[in-house]
């Protein structure tokens, strides 16, 4: 859920932030972790999602273009000015122009980006800041682009795998509604005067047809109200948390969700470590990526690392590892390439998740098609059962 945060920081005055958080406490913690003193926190009004796409800053495209200009030999300020000149979207052009103004004031790029957390997340700012220490901004941009591309690839696989089942459910639901709302009432007129012993389920279907024809308007309004209520409830963070908790309690699904969370966590931490950010700082920065059930475990792991325990031992003690990731973390500690090992762990589990999604969809789709077929076929058979009974009585 997106929250509007009114905060202030030394040397900046009052600033308006837009943060993604699970609740107001989480938004407050995120703002304070960036050095802000929070004055007010409030959830964004309206339906989340409508009109939001236009306001999103194209961070990956911005990074690609900035990297190309820097590789071509342009100075940083001139490269950012070039991006502002070619930009046609007012909200994006405004954000880049404001960054340029801060650069002309003598601030570093990371300091300039930090003023606009709604466009440049803390993870991106930290990556740029670490690169400024080593003087290798191009490498940091390449690292972030690769990181975001991998995350987007995993998301696209999950979305593409869900498209066909959603279409099946949608089409099957529309056909069922058409049969129950239009065809069955028409058939019920024919069967009202039929005598004989009509099967019980067919009689119930006929009664439903009569009910639909008599109270069509009231039933339509009730169905519309129920649909709007369900959509509204589905958008509430409390509902999403409740559904998430239920899914986590299912062993097979919960374990896959945990692996997905850990893969994203390892990839992000690995990118930060490769960028030169200390381990504890990196863990604190990525805490918001994890499910609420894992955040407390991460805090304890960070505390153990701060007290001097090896990272692999701290992560294992707090159940943030798998057998594969634990071995690779130990290898990273021995070789001094912890960031690289964590990214390899993430890649391994991304591939495993892709295979599982492919297997699940191959199994789930025919089951779903069979279920929809049984429902629609059952309705059709029940509609024709009285006709069969009538034909039998005539014979």
Closest among 98, 133, 104, 131 to 117, alpha carbons compared: 98
Look at residue 46 in the predicted model and tell me its pLDDT: 38
In this predicted structure, the answer to whether residue 16 has a pLDDT above a threshold of 60 is: yes
Look at residue 225 in the predicted model and tell me its pLDDT: 92
Average of per-residue pLDDT across 75-94: 86
Look at residue 148 in the predicted model and tell me its pLDDT: 82
pLDDT tens-digit profile of 137-146? 888 888 888 8
For the chain, the average pLDDT equals 79
Query: What is the helix (H) or strand (E) element at residue 155, kind and residue range?
Result: helix 137-178
Contacts with 213 (C-beta within 8 Å, 6 or more apart), sequence order: 185, 188, 189
Question: Any idea which residue has 């039929």 for tokens?
Answer: 194
**What is the rounded distance in angstroms from the CA atom of residue 30 to the CA atom of residue 33?**
5
Q: Is the pTM of this model over 0.85?
A: no
Look at residue 11 in the predicted model and tell me its pLDDT: 61
**What is the rounded distance in angstroms from the CA atom of residue 91 to the CA atom of residue 313?**
46
């Amino acid at each position: 859920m997106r929250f509007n945060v009114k905060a202030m920081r030394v040397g900046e005055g009052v600033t308006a932030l837009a943060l993604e958080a699970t609740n107001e406490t989480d938004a407050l913690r995120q703002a304070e972790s960036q050095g802000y003193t929070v004055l007010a926190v409030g959830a964004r009004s309206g339906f989340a999602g409508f009109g939001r796409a236009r306001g999103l800053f194209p961070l990956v495209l911005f990074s690609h273009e900035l990297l190309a200009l820097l590789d071509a030999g342009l100075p940083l300020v001139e490269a950012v000015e070039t991006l502002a000149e070619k930009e046609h979207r007012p909200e994006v052009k405004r954000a880049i122009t404001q960054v340029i103004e801060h650069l002309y004031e003598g601030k570093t790029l990371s300091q300039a980006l930090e003023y606009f957390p709604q466009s440049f997340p803390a993870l991106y700012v930290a990556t740029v800041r670490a690169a400024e220490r080593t003087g290798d901004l191009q490498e940091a941009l390449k690292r972030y682009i690769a990181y975001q591309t991998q995350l987007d690839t995993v998301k696209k696989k999950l979305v593409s795998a869900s498209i066909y089942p959603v279409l099946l459910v949608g089409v099957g639901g529309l056909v069922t509604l058409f049969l129950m709302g239009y065809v069955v009432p028409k058939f019920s007129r024919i069967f009202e005067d039929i005598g004989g012993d009509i099967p019980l389920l067919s009689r119930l279907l006929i009664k439903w047809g009569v009910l639909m024809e008599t109270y069509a308007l009231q039933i339509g309004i009730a169905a519309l109200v129920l649909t709007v209520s369900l959509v509204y409830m589905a958008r509430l963070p409390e509902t999403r948390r409740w559904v998430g908790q239920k899914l986590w309690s299912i062993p097979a699904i919960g374990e896959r969700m945990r692996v997905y969370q850990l893969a994203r966590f390892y990839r992000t931490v690995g990118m930060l470590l490769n960028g030169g950010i200390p381990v504890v700082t990196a863990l604190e920065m990525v805490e918001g990526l994890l499910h609420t059930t894992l955040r407390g475990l991460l805090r304890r792991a960070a505390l153990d690392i701060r007290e001097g325990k090896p990272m692999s031992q701290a992560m294992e003690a707090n159940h943030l590892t798998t057998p594969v990731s634990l071995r690779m973390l130990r290898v990273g500690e021995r070789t001094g390439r912890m960031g690289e090992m964590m990214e390899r762990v993430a890649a391994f589990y991304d591939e495993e998740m892709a295979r599982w999604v492919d297997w699940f969809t191959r199994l789930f789709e025919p089951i779903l098609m069979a279920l929809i077929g049984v429902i629609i076929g059952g309705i059709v058979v029940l509609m024709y059962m009285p006709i069969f009974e009538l034909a039998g009585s005539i014979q």
